[in-house]
């Protein structure tokens, strides 16, 4: 089978990690899929793997010198121009920090600065270093600038300890690179709206009713959609997550605010992925000052129903594609099927929040996808980004040609 990597030029960056020895396998796998590979090494990387090894495998000279002239230009400009993709595997905490803060003091970081193609980073480091607050801030910054990160994974580390920090294995990295190149045009020219996070319904100036939703599923959907060429309107309830910079972002708090913003944008979009956990009810009366516990021994709340935004969209959707979500604690398939029909959806994503690794606040999910034709796909436990990928795959399948 032909690979999307065939005849593509991949700039493979290698930095100073013990995992650098795996770069040889990455070169071999990329070449096997028809790519031309241009190794670019930091000086630190040469302590772990010899440039001649990569030169021999890639059939391209491994580059290290920032001031070398090739193809009539400075090397970093030449490499930046010819690359279809930049893959840095392994990437150390040091090099991630440089890229995040615009430091370009060697051939690799200068080339990254000069390129406009997708950039994939495969981190490798000790768990303590990976969990450092500065490293995590740099990772958030890199993601916010549209860079793709794969891993690190849990496993045995160079220190002999077991923890998170091990570079993803070469086959997984190369598959990911292929997916990034292949999917960039899936939804080119399409505009989707994604809702995310919880809503909050005030009781008084201090307290509110809400859910445990973190927004992670909705934000993963927005990021995946952008990576696949879609323009994304992201409407989010309160969440600590950083929205993708490429998204048209709107922050809301209550269900009524979310409904207002969704309805404002609905006519312009090709589809909606309604991942937000919208409050079903709100207090009928919102106290203007803090309710004091010494003023009463019990408190009775009078609640009124919020509008069902998804059901309302289902009535007016016409040819727009509509994806709903439901979190249940029992009879998952039956309740998903009922909501799919009741709300006139094209696809529903259902999860049983009683299962470990599924539901609110965690990085993974276990879901069931049911489409308008009754086809059911069960996804076992996987990251929310991987679940998002499968949802967008299904959206692509359901979209009109």
Examine the domain organization and report whether 111 and 64 are in the same domain: yes
Q: What is the pLDDT of residue 20?
A: 95
Examine the domain organization and report whether 170 and 205 are in the same domain: no
Entry field: residues in the chain? 401
Q: What is the pLDDT of residue 160?
A: 75
Examine the domain organization and report whether 201 and 179 are in the same domain: no
Examine the domain organization and report whether 75 and 170 are in the same domain: yes
- Closest C-alpha to 383, from 120, 172, 117: 172
**C-alpha dihedral sign at 247, 367, 136, 13:** negative
Residue where one domain finishes, among candidates 163, 183, 203: 183
Low-confidence ranges of the chain (pLDDT < 50): none
Domain CATH for 356: 3.40.50.10300
Q: What is the pLDDT of residue 2?
A: 66
Examine the domain organization and report whether 221 and 335 are in the same domain: yes
Can you say which residues are annotated as belonging to the binding site?
Answer: 280, 290, 307-310, 325, 339, 343
**Summary mean pLDDT of the chain:** 90
Q: How far apart are CA 185 and CA 24, in angstroms?
A: 30
Q: What is the pLDDT of residue 295?
A: 63
Examine the domain organization and report whether 233 and 175 are in the same domain: no
Tens-digit pLDDT profile for residues 137-166: 999 888 878 788 998 988 887 777 788 889
Examine the domain organization and report whether 365 and 308 are in the same domain: yes
Answer yes or no: is 14 within a domain: yes
Q: How far apart are CA 177 and CA 128, in angstroms?
A: 27
Q: What is the pLDDT of residue 277?
A: 93
Can you say which residues are annotated as belonging to the binding site for CTP?
Answer: 280, 290, 307-310, 325, 339, 343
Examine the domain organization and report whether 72 and 30 are in the same domain: yes
Q: What is the pLDDT of residue 278?
A: 94
User: Which residues constitute the domain of residue 361?
Assistant: 191-398
Q: What is the pLDDT of residue 361?
A: 79
Q: What is the pLDDT of residue 358?
A: 79
Residue where one domain finishes, among candidates 151, 183, 215: 183
Answer yes or no: is 67 within a domain: yes
Answer yes or no: is 2 within a domain: no
**In the chain, how many domains are there?**
2
Answer yes or no: is 4 within a domain: no
SS (H, E, C) 177-213: HHHHHHHCCCCCCCEEEEEECECCEECCCCCEECCCC
Answer yes or no: is 276 within a domain: yes
């Amino acid at each position: 089978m032909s690979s999307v990597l065939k005849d593509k030029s991949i700039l493979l960056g290698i930095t100073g990690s013990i995992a650098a020895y795996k770069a040889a396998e990455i070169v071999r796998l990329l070449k096997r899929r028809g790519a031309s590979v241009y190794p670019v090494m930091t000086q630190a990387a040469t302590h772990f793997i010899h440039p001649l090894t990569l030169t021999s495998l890639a059939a391209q000279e491994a580059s290290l010198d920032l001031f070398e002239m090739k193809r009539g230009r400075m090397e970093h400009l030449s490499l930046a121009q010819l690359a279809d993709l930049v893959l840095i595997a392994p990437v150390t905490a040091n090099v991630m920090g440089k890229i995040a803060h615009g430091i370009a003091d060697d051939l690799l970081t200068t080339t990254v600065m000069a390129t406009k193609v997708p950039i994939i980073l495969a981190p490798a480091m000790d768990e303590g270093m990976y969990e450092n607050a500065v490293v995590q801030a740099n990772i958030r910054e890199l993601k916010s600038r549209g860079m793709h990160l794969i891993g690190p994974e849990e496993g045995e580390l160079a220190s002999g300890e077991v923890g998170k920090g091990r570079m993803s294995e070469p086959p997984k990295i190369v598959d990911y690179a292929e997916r990034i190149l292949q999917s960039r045009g899936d939804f080119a020219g399409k505009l989707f709206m994604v809702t995310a996070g919880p809503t909050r319904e005030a009781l008084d100036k201090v307290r509110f009713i809400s859910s445990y939703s973190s927004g992670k599923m909705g934000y993963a959907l927005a990021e995946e959609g952008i990576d696949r060429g879609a323009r994304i309107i992201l409407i989010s309830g309160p969440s600590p997550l950083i929205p993708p910079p490429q998204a048209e972002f709107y922050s809301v708090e209550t269900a009524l605010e979310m409904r207002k913003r969704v309805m404002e944008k609905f006519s312009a979009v090709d589809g909606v992925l309604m991942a937000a956990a919208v409050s079903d009810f709100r207090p009928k009366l919102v106290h203007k000052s803090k309710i004091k516990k010494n003023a009463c021994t019990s408190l009775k709340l009078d609640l009124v129903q919020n509008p069902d935004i998804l059901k309302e969209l289902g009535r007016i959707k016409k040819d727009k594609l509509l994806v709903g979500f439901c979190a249940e604690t029992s009879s998952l398939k039956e309740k998903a099927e009922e909501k799919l029909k009741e709300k006139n959806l094209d696809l529903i994503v259902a999860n049983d929040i009683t299962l470990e690794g599924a539901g609110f606040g965690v990085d993974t999910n276990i879901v069931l996808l049911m489409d308008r034709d009754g086809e059911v796909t069960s996804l076992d436990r996987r990251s929310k980004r991987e679940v998002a990928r499968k949802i967008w795959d299904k959206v692509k399948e359901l979209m009109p040609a």
